[in-house]
Structure 1
Amino acid sequence: MHKTQYPIISKGGYEMKLYQNGVILTMNAAGERAGSMAVEGERIVRVGDEEELAKEFPHAKKVDLRGRTVMPGFIEGHVHLLNYAYSLTKIDCAPLKSIEEMIEAGRKYIRERQVPAGKWVQGRGWNQIFFAEKRNPTTADLDAISTEHPIVFTRVCEHMVVANSMALSMAGITKETENPEGGEIEHDENGNLTGLLKETARYLIYRMIPDKSVEEIKEMLVNAISIASSLGLTTMHTDDFETFSDKDWRKVMRAYRELEQEDRLNMRIREQCLLPQIDRLKEFIKEEILERHDTSMVQAGPLKLLTDGSLGGRSAFLRAPYSDAPDTCGIAVFTKDELNELVTTAHEAKMGVVCHAIGDGAMEMCMDAFLKAQEKRPDPDARFGIIHLQITQPDILKRFKEQNVIAYMEPVCLNSDLHIAESRVGAERLPSTYNYRTLCDMNVMYTMSSDCPVDSLNPFDSLFVGVNRCDYSGYPEGGWMPEQKLTVEQMLRGFTINGAYASFEENLKGSLEEGKLADFVILSQDPTRCDPMKLRDIAVEETVLGGRTVYRKK
């Protein structure tokens, strides 16, 4: 990402506030705790001893924390905010425990909302792992919901969809339709369509769904951001450009900027720009990166690339075949030459690059592409990143350190993935999966993320899974691969100062220190002193963005 920092302009006229009678987790380099914090306008004026600050600022408005804990606002390392906002309008399949329940949920949605025939019905979040039938849904299952509505349900990973007959027909998909590059149209043993579409094949369906206007996008974002604020988030690194079939990045950036101009944007947005075609990337660089429209609220960049799929959908690109599907290694979305060209083009424009890579095969391609780009324009502080990094063989771990690549960790994914990892990769490769603690011990720079709406947006769900290495129910007792448990402090650094580092903003936010932005949260209790099994019980009681309260628990 471009390293020229935006100016921070104080609007003035703010009353100084002195937060006291609580615990201040500064998240500074020394990990210090303090008793009081002075804030004026959008900046932190001082952090330190309560008595000393009370004497220094005798006229400041006193804010009694009543023993509660203050820490920097959470920085979400990788999320799909607009997709999450859109998902709130769809059928939520995540809680469903069977395909029969999914069918009934679809019928109920149509019945209660009186959806006219011919109108699209969408759902998201299904996971066959948790279905009683232990299989993927099919066209026949969705036809049981309705044959008078085009229906598409997206898997929890967002890398696979299932469509009914009407939707397939509208998209012109038949059993003779060829796979698009980087995608798969699944067939059964008889050569008939199953209704499952993987990776780029999803867009054959998505392109048929009506797009949203800028105003519709804005209202969806305001709703989703209000939820995010209630969870303590103050910055989101978000991938939004291909949420809708038009893939109109101008519309997305316009929506965010108009919300900022209207003073309705209560979240700092760092757009991870999904631009997988070289022509679109060059166009974006010309209009956005070279012009630099960045503000303290909205920034464009880095380039985001999806280089493989998901482990659950068996589309993550592995070096060796899947243990439970030995005929496939998954899907590499790009050839090596395509990936190298995209990464180098962005790097030469000082745009920055982060890549979704789950399999070891995909990560190897990314690391090679980063090296190629550095040969063209050496930059010791490029801050390339890899998102998800689930199948990390020892040589891949070593390259994170050697190449100074940021690891965008996602511990919360283990809530579901710990149930399938061994079946997908086998016992021999299992020790080389989800090696978060190993990366921390190697002093690799890392951030924390949720990939929402794939997994929970709540940072305390992430803390619970990352610290305990178990699912939400507490399974397995003692933790899954417990040697990879993270400490609460490691998790919090990933969600704060390290998240700021990822966007070259570690001197502006991410810790509670003099002169930094007053982005912070007030918590019901101190997560560093909490029973690890009760981390999900911690409540966000107030969220402050630039000195302004954007959420207060009622």
Structure 2
Amino acid sequence: MLRKTVALLSCLCSLSLSAAPVVLHNIHGYGFDEQRQLVKFQTLVFDNETGQVLARGDSTLRQQYAQATQWDGQGKTVLPGLIDGHGHVLGLGDYLNQADLRGISSEKQSAASVAAFAQSNPKQQWVMGRGWNQVLWDSKAFPSKTSLDEMVADRPVFLVRVDAHAAWVNSKALALAGITKDTIDPPGGEIIRDANGEPTGVLIDNAMGLVQSKIPAPTNEDKQAALDKAFAHLLALGITSVHDAGVSSELAALYQQLQQQQQLGVRIYPMLSAKDPQLADWFKKGIVNDSTDWLDIRSVKIYGDGALGSRGAALLSDYSDRAGQQGLLVTQPDALTEIMRLTIGAGFQANVHAIGDRANRLALDRFEQLSPLADLAKARHRIEHAQIVSPKDIPRFKALHVLPAMQAVHATSDMNMAGDRLGVARLRGAYAWRTFIDQGSIIVGGSDFPVELANPFHGLHASVTRQDQHNQPEGGWMPEQRLTLVEALRSFTVDAAYGAFQEDKMGHLQPGSWADFILVDRDIFNVPATELWQTTTLETWIHGKQRYKK
């Protein structure tokens, strides 16, 4: 399957203009300068062989390259290749091969959709799916194994919630995992139970592993097929690089193999999973610094807490809609200290998943305790999501040189339940993009696909409008936290590159940078902000080669 994708990419690359250099003119080009300020240009010159930008400027620049291949952009808009600063590539590929429950409005309809998928895929030993969200249902209640049992009883069913921090399973899956009334909740996890103490079929965070461990491991061929789908999907969306959050040693090794064979579909900045048993071996080998920036390995994804929708985000005080519950620490405090200490000591970037205000504070405390300030300034450690932060902790991000890696679409997805979970007071430090920008923090933008859709223009739209795609709520949700379009585009280009130590070569289209760029169907700086999410990618170029054409 992967070879088919490589063949397809080779065909697409053959559409590239073969001579070097290439002059792309008659365009509305946008990039950034050394100070991260927006720059407009009408002509872009790049070398098709080295994959680097040679020059950019106005229409007269063509005359300096009279012997080069000339390509008329026909007035189209050119942007730097978009970088997703937090996604899950293999998870996206798997998602594209599973039952899609995103946006379904009831438990009954979701179960029926799973049944239809199971009937269409009779050879699958496990029925897998993703995307359910009880917050969108009238009941607002977690689903039950009963509704799945009525639809699919002969095979185990495992359905991941939209945020990937909860699973909905049938009785067959519970039986295979040996989960009964007497099963003890694992640390950092919860088995949801009914009034009689019986498992209902919903597993939160670390409890998911009780069933996941029974699912047959995918083969390398399965992984390659999933990556094949994911690469093609990302290229069609204008994404040229992904910070892949939480990869196993096996996946990292597969990425290395594909990079050596020049078969990576997009640039990958993998964060090694802190849960990987071979992490110490990676620390011994040290940072992998790829001179072509196709695969730089120098970071670790560390797991702090769960997610807000499943009430797994670790809070400093009780959830407003469930007294006595303060969320879950997926990694206990002492263990969090140790893995952060090992990561920082090995010279790797520590990227801590923290959604709740307690998890964010725990991570900030440890950055402060474990590393001198001078070292923190160089290390570019990150907090992934930085979703709900105590207002007194927000300035600590800047003081400690910790980067918030935030996903704008989470705010517009969560706005229908965040107030219920947190109450009014805690919202002051939630999804606080403007507050971070105004204090001088650099935001690494992303989507967290497949938790959210991978389309980066959805993120740009959410950043600028704080609205959903129906222009709701009127005026935007917590509109004081909106970004300008320039700030939002930075977060998906040069600022995301900064979060991977790649800002010298990516995200801005300055001379000397990689020729990673996209052509889109509209000038995003000259359309209503409400239409940004509708932007379509026409062509995607990486390293001076065309990788996708609509």
Distance 1:87 1:334, change over 3 A: same
1:172 alignment counterpart: 178
Q: Structure 1-normalised TM-score?
A: 0.92
Corresponding residue SS for 1:161: strand
CA shift for structure 1 position 352: 0.7
Q: 2:56 aligns with which of 47, 61, 81?
A: 47
2:361 counterpart of 1:364: yes
1:340 alignment counterpart: 337
1:8 alignment counterpart: none
| Structure 2 unaligned spans of 5+ | 1-16
Letter of the 1:77 counterpart: G
1:90 alignment counterpart: 98
Q: Does the CA-based 8 Å contact 1:266-1:545 persist in structure 2?
A: no
The separation in 2 between residues aligned to 1:520 and 1:394, in whole angstroms, is 37
The separation in 2 between residues aligned to 1:447 and 1:20, in whole angstroms, is 30
2:103 counterpart of 1:104: no
Q: Write out aligned runs for 1:359-398 (5 A).
A: 359-375=356-372, 378-398=375-395
Letter of the 2:55 counterpart: R
Q: 1:218 aligns with which of 219, 224, 244?
A: 224
2:152 alignment counterpart: 146
The separation in 2 between residues aligned to 1:85 and 1:433, in whole angstroms, is 30
CA shift for structure 1 position 339: 1.1
Distance 1:232 1:321, change over 3 A: same
Letter of the 2:160 counterpart: T
Corresponding residue SS for 2:297: strand
2:189 alignment counterpart: 183
- 1:444-496 superposed Cα distances (whole Å, 9 cap, x missing partner): 11111100000110011111111111122221111111111111111100000
2:38 counterpart of 1:31: yes
2:208 counterpart of 1:202: yes
The separation in 1 between residues aligned to 2:181 and 2:123, in whole angstroms, is 29
2:134 counterpart of 1:128: yes
The separation in 2 between residues aligned to 1:376 and 1:280, in whole angstroms, is 29
Q: How large is the RMSD of aligned CA atoms in angstroms? A: 1.8
The separation in 1 between residues aligned to 2:417 and 2:181, in whole angstroms, is 30
- 1:482-539 superposed Cα distances (whole Å, 9 cap, x missing partner): 1111111111000000111111111111101111100111111221222001112211
Distance 1:212 1:35, change over 3 A: same
- 1:11-30 superposed Cα distances (whole Å, 9 cap, x missing partner): x9842111111111012233
Corresponding residue SS for 2:313: coil
2:450 counterpart of 1:450: no
CA shift for structure 1 position 377: 8.7
Q: Write out aligned runs for 1:322-333 (5 A).
A: 322-333=319-330
Q: Write out aligned runs for 1:242-257 (5 A).
A: 249-257=248-256
Q: Does the CA-based 8 Å contact 1:404-1:445 persist in structure 2?
A: no
Corresponding residue SS for 1:315: coil
Distance 1:330 1:167, change over 3 A: same
1:281 alignment counterpart: 279
Q: Does the CA-based 8 Å contact 2:288-2:298 persist in structure 1?
A: no
The separation in 1 between residues aligned to 2:375 and 2:261, in whole angstroms, is 40
Greater Cα offset, 363-372 or 428-437: 428-437
Q: Write out aligned runs for 1:467-482 (5 A).
A: 467-482=464-479
Q: Does the CA-based 8 Å contact 2:469-2:530 persist in structure 1?
A: no
Distance 1:379 1:443, change over 3 A: closer
Q: 1:308 aligns with which of 301, 305, 308?
A: 305
| Structure 1 unaligned spans of 5+ | 1-11, 242-248
The separation in 2 between residues aligned to 1:534 and 1:297, in whole angstroms, is 32
The separation in 2 between residues aligned to 1:462 and 1:260, in whole angstroms, is 28
The separation in 2 between residues aligned to 1:467 and 1:499, in whole angstroms, is 17
The separation in 2 between residues aligned to 1:377 and 1:432, in whole angstroms, is 27
Letter of the 2:345 counterpart: E
Distance 1:481 1:365, change over 3 A: same
CA shift for structure 1 position 262: 3.4
Distance 1:13 1:70, change over 3 A: closer
CA shift for structure 1 position 375: 4.1
Letter of the 1:71 counterpart: L
1:3 alignment counterpart: none
The separation in 1 between residues aligned to 2:116 and 2:491, in whole angstroms, is 41
Distance 1:443 1:125, change over 3 A: same
Q: Does the CA-based 8 Å contact 2:461-2:532 persist in structure 1?
A: yes
- 1:370-428 superposed Cα distances (whole Å, 9 cap, x missing partner): 11220499342110111111212211111011111111111111232000011001122
Q: Does the CA-based 8 Å contact 1:347-1:377 persist in structure 2?
A: no
Greater Cα offset, 522-531 or 230-239: 522-531
Q: Does the CA-based 8 Å contact 1:99-1:132 persist in structure 2?
A: no
Letter of the 2:25 counterpart: Q
Corresponding residue SS for 2:392: helix
Instruction: Give the % identical residues.
Output: 32
Corresponding residue SS for 1:140: helix
The separation in 2 between residues aligned to 1:369 and 1:46, in whole angstroms, is 44
Q: Does the CA-based 8 Å contact 1:415-1:472 persist in structure 2?
A: no
Q: 2:21 aligns with which of 16, 20, 34?
A: 16
Corresponding residue SS for 2:54: strand
Letter of the 1:439 counterpart: F
2:534 counterpart of 1:527: no
Q: 1:231 aligns with which of 226, 230, 237?
A: 237
The count of residues paired between Structure 1 and Structure 2 equals: 530
Greater Cα offset, 138-147 or 162-171: 138-147
The separation in 1 between residues aligned to 2:332 and 2:368, in whole angstroms, is 16
Corresponding residue SS for 2:223: helix
2:546 counterpart of 1:546: no
Q: Does the CA-based 8 Å contact 1:222-1:265 persist in structure 2?
A: no
Q: Structure 2-normalised TM-score?
A: 0.93
